[in-house]
Amino acid sequence: MIKDLSALADGPVSVSGWVDTVRDQKKVQFIVLRDESGAAQLVNPAVREPSVDLQTGADDAASADRFAITEAISTLAHGSFITVTGQLKKDERVKLGGLEIKLETLDLVTEALPETPIAADSGLDKRMDWRFLDLRHPKQNLIFRIQTTFLHALRTYWVDNDFIEIQTPKLMASASESRAELFEVEYFEGKAYLAQSPQFYKQMAQPAGFGKVFEIGPAFRADPSFTSRHATEFTSIDSELSWIDDHEDVMRLHEELIVAGFTAVKEKHGAEIVELFDVEVTVPSTPFPRIPLAEAKRIVAERGYEVPRADADLDPEGERRIAAYVAETFEHEFVFLTDYASSIRPFYHMRHANDPSLTNSYDLLFNGTEISTGAQREHRVEVLVEQAKEKGLDPEELGFYLDFFRYGVPPHGGFGMGLARVLMLMLHQASIREVTYLFRGPTRLEP
Amino acid sequence: MIKDLSALADGPVSVSGWVDTVRDQKKVQFIVLRDESGAAQLVNPAVREPSVDLQTGADDAASADRFAITEAISTLAHGSFITVTGQLKKDERVKLGGLEIKLETLDLVTEALPETPIAADSGLDKRMDWRFLDLRHPKQNLIFRIQTTFLHALRTYWVDNDFIEIQTPKLMASASESRAELFEVEYFEGKAYLAQSPQFYKQMAQPAGFGKVFEIGPAFRADPSFTSRHATEFTSIDSELSWIDDHEDVMRLHEELIVAGFTAVKEKHGAEIVELFDVEVTVPSTPFPRIPLAEAKRIVAERGYEVPRADADLDPEGERRIAAYVAETFEHEFVFLTDYASSIRPFYHMRHANDPSLTNSYDLLFNGTEISTGAQREHRVEVLVEQAKEKGLDPEELGFYLDFFRYGVPPHGGFGMGLARVLMLMLHQASIREVTYLFRGPTRLEP
């Protein structure tokens, strides 16, 4: 790999990658070769004509080889994958990593079409059409190495703390959240629906006696909106645990996970993130600030913004304003907004014992945008049935879910968090499309 | 947690879990309390009548408490979740972990319905109807702790070796494998299809310059069969890597991953697996035996079994017989069958340079059952187009996939492996249903 070259002694090397750029000068040719680990400069003294032995008139074999390589480089399409051998030489004057490789052989593995369909300044939609070329850029590559590190840090935290990993089914017989955003599947003689979240099935792990569980997997929402924060398919990070006292226990788990993930990312990629994104990743201090939603609305109002919503919730501008307040007051990028009104929470959120208009729930905001919702769940089946009815749901249809609560279940709670939102906000990107391997939206199913 | 009790000194403790069994004797009551970590015995000297102060005629408060607890235990339904406090006492005579807890308080957290719908001897289908109760059994719980350990070991191997984790979309515009087993989704004004494998999109990571990638996620097959090895939704373990010479490089990665997973499982759960499943997990030695498929058929025939198939493949009985041969000859539970005929492999498998009737591919068999298919992929687009046509596919429909190969791509290969099959065979289970959190089949979408 290219990143390993700097540790090698000067001498013969072999390296593979794709052609980033070619500078084809008369006397010397330069190639910038790239792989997933970095880029290096290849240099070839150009031989523009094969020399002929003046005495015999025969071709000079070595010279013919040099001529062939020179010709090959002159016609080399950007993006082609090649394997080369040559002499590695450290040279401080070479800006790219302080080394270059003087070419000896060049093997063209797969030639690219000469015209690349996207350029550095192509629009996001065009870039998504050619995502596999877009992803060759070092910034895009880094995003997915960050994602790998972040997810592995979360899973390592969970495994070290005796959580069980579950894979919940994505094919369901009914809706798991609202029926409004449900994808329908032709399922043999009948219908199935795509899971909008693992909610019901991660809760099932509680009466199953699993104690603490996690899952990172896809979730599906038939959401027709085209905002920078929504997708029809997204990666959901979920955890659920038994024997909590209230949502405070869930928040404590949640912030420890965030710290584990951010610590790992900063350690492994911090310098590169500064270089490519001009962003300094901050590992947040714990505990994160916690503000009850009603108080957050009061603070925002005091600071001159009346949330233009009929319900009890904040709007995106309100979220940005409370985040600004938190940044000023606590120097913190995260804030838990807690105790949402029952009217704007799903039926399965537990309500306050002394005030049923409020729930034991929270949203987690990162740099002013919601990345997660968590809550204590209602585990008393008779209360759950009442709350479902109050939300206009038919307990009959929820039958299999309600059964989970009829044979004993511990108090429990958990959260779901959108991976792409975390990465988007961590790297100050404008859209989750930038940090999603292949975005899915109402009008995008390809590539 | 119950597993932590043995390390505590005798004295006051608090513990939560569900009621496994109650023995309600006249003078003393026993409860076996269980949580995800184990089981412990609770003991309560029964007080069948509250005693009365003989002088004042008033109730004795302490005695009334004891009487209340005794009554509560007498009516305690199996499966109810409780929290108790009491005095921990080590006692070698207690078979269950050599300790018991003398009850002081008992808090009934959630009462179970008195009739449990499944028993220890219920059939598999009935148990699946009540999977959340079925999963309370220590064997089922262990399966998912093993799964957690196995998957974490694979991911740790990948991360330590610079693989990038990808999440490929499960919503697609076309089939990724055969059109025969495809689920169709209503997608706004049009149709989408559920990914049958991440094949196309993990290959996309290769022209994208990701080098080495992995994914563990769901895959969907509209397969109407009801065998013990098939499901309509399953967890697929996938990896793909660049710059291979041939499928040998893929097999080398594959066996290292299997060794990493089995080593971790044996270390963490080996003793428990012997105890609950009567199975000794063996960490396989490397290299695994490799047998070209044609030779495997010859061996099986020499040993008296003619495979009753018109095509070049083995049948399940043939797989069992070659596995028996491998066990005898190499004392190995795994075998790579290599070089499958092009006629029975998908169009994207690379064929032998000197014999296009054979592919650079393999199946991995574990204890006589196929758990995985791997191959070098054809990366030369003109060859790929020809092979697609030969298989009766329309290159037009494969357009977005074929584009991946037009702008430069390294030689690459990889494999897909079914998680449930590995666990089934590791634990000598008869069906993948036993090792799947919630099985999905043609007639099963609930719970």
Q: How many CB pairs under 8 A join A and B?
A: 261
How far B389 CA lies from chain A's nearest CA (Å)?
Answer: 21
**Which chain A residue shows the shortest CA-CA distance from B82?**
A410
- Residue B283 is given by DSSP the state P
Contact B19 A243 (CB under 8 A): no
Distance CA A247, CA A292 (A): 12
Mean per-residue pLDDT, A141-158:
98
Mean per-residue pLDDT, A332-342:
97
| pLDDT (0 to 100) of residue A59 | 66
| pLDDT (0 to 100) of residue A54 | 65
Cβ atoms within 10 A of the Cβ of A99, count?
19
**Which chain B residue shows the shortest CA-CA distance from A115?**
B407
C-alpha B95: how far from chain center: 32
Distance CA B104, CA B13 (A): 10
Mean per-residue pLDDT, B28-46:
94
pLDDT at A225 over 90: no
Query: Which stretch of A49-58, A211-220, A342-351, B130-139 has the lowest confidence by average pLDDT?
Result: A49-58
Q: Which residues of B touch A145 (CB under 8 A)?
A: 164
**Which chain B residue shows the shortest CA-CA distance from A224?**
B188
Q: What's the pLDDT band for B63 if we cut at 50, 70, 90? A: confident
For residues A35-59, b (16+ Cβ closer than 10 Å) or e, as one string? bbbbbbbbbbebbeebeeeeeeeee
Mean per-residue pLDDT, B83-103:
94
pLDDT at A228 over 90: no
Q: What domains sit in chain B, N to C, each tagged with a CATH number?
A: 2-110 (2.40.50.140), 128-435 (3.30.930.10)
Residues B170 and B151: beta-carbon distance below 8 Å: no
Q: Tell how strand B81-90 and strand B99-110 pair up.
A: antiparallel
| pLDDT (0 to 100) of residue B53 | 65
Mean per-residue pLDDT, A20-37:
94
| pLDDT (0 to 100) of residue A58 | 64
Q: What's the pLDDT band for A362 if we cut at 50, 70, 90? A: very high
Contact A410 B112 (CB under 8 A): no
| pLDDT (0 to 100) of residue A8 | 93
pLDDT at B56 over 80: no
pLDDT tens, position by position, B335-381: 999 999 999 999 999 999 999 999 999 999 999 999 999 999 999 99
Distance CA A434, CA A123 (A): 11
Annotated ligand binding at A272? The verdict is: no
Q: What's the pLDDT band for B312 if we cut at 50, 70, 90? A: confident
pLDDT at B176 over 80: no
| pLDDT (0 to 100) of residue A114 | 87
Annotated ligand binding at A433? The verdict is: no
Annotated ligand binding at A406? The verdict is: no
Residues B415 and B239: beta-carbon distance below 8 Å: yes
Contact A168 B17 (CB under 8 A): no
Annotated ligand binding at A290? The verdict is: no
Residues B207 and A171: beta-carbon distance below 8 Å: no
| pLDDT (0 to 100) of residue B226 | 86
How far B34 CA lies from chain A's nearest CA (Å)?
Answer: 8
How far A184 CA lies from chain B's nearest CA (Å)?
Answer: 6
pLDDT at A53 over 70: no
Please tell me which of the candidates B235, B408, B440 has its beta carbon nearest to residue A111: B408
Please tell me which of the candidates B116, B152, B187 has its beta carbon nearest to residue A159: B152
pLDDT at A154 over 90: yes
| ipTM of the prediction | 0.94
Chain B interface test: which of A407, A409, A435 (most B C-beta within 10 Å): A407
Q: What's the pLDDT band for B425 if we cut at 50, 70, 90? A: very high
Please tell me which of the candidates A18, A37, A204 has its beta carbon nearest to residue B408: A18
C-alpha B306: how far from chain center: 33
**Which chain A residue shows the shortest CA-CA distance from B402?**
A447
Percent of chain B with pLDDT over 70: 98
How far A228 CA lies from chain B's nearest CA (Å)?
Answer: 18
Contact B209 A18 (CB under 8 A): yes
Mean per-residue pLDDT, B76-95:
94
Mean per-residue pLDDT, A359-377:
97
What radius of gyration, in Å, describes the C-alpha atoms of chain B? 28
- Residue B163 is given by DSSP the state P
Mean per-residue pLDDT, B298-306:
92
Q: Which residues of A touch B171 (CB under 8 A)?
A: 220, 232-233, 440, 445
Contact B148 A159 (CB under 8 A): yes
**Which chain A residue shows the shortest CA-CA distance from B165?**
A148
Q: Tell how strand B412-418 and strand B233-242 pair up.
A: antiparallel
Contact A169 B113 (CB under 8 A): no
Query: Which stretch of A39-43, B116-120, B416-420 has the lowest confidence by average pLDDT?
Result: B116-120
| pLDDT (0 to 100) of residue B70 | 94
State chain A's mean pLDDT as an integer: 94
Q: What's the pLDDT band for B65 if we cut at 50, 70, 90? A: confident
Contact A220 B18 (CB under 8 A): no
Helix (H, G, I), strand (E, B) or coil at B23: strand
What radius of gyration, in Å, describes the C-alpha atoms of chain A? 28
Give burial (CB, 10 Å; 0-12/13-18/19+) of B406.
middle
pLDDT at A335 over 70: yes
Distance CA B42, CA B60 (A): 24
State chain B's mean pLDDT as an integer: 94
**Which chain A residue shows the shortest CA-CA distance from B232?**
A171
Q: Which residues of A touch B145 (CB under 8 A)?
A: 164
Mean per-residue pLDDT, A350-363:
97
Cβ atoms within 10 A of the Cβ of B319, count?
22
| pLDDT (0 to 100) of residue A69 | 93
Distance CA B434, CA B322 (A): 26
| pLDDT (0 to 100) of residue B49 | 83
Mean per-residue pLDDT, B77-96:
94
Q: How many CA atoms lie within 13 A of A306 on its CB side?
A: 2
Start-to-end CA span in chain A (Å): 28
Chain A interface test: which of B166, B187, B407 (most A C-beta within 10 Å): B407
How far B422 CA lies from chain A's nearest CA (Å)?
Answer: 15
| pLDDT (0 to 100) of residue B174 | 84
Contact A152 B156 (CB under 8 A): yes
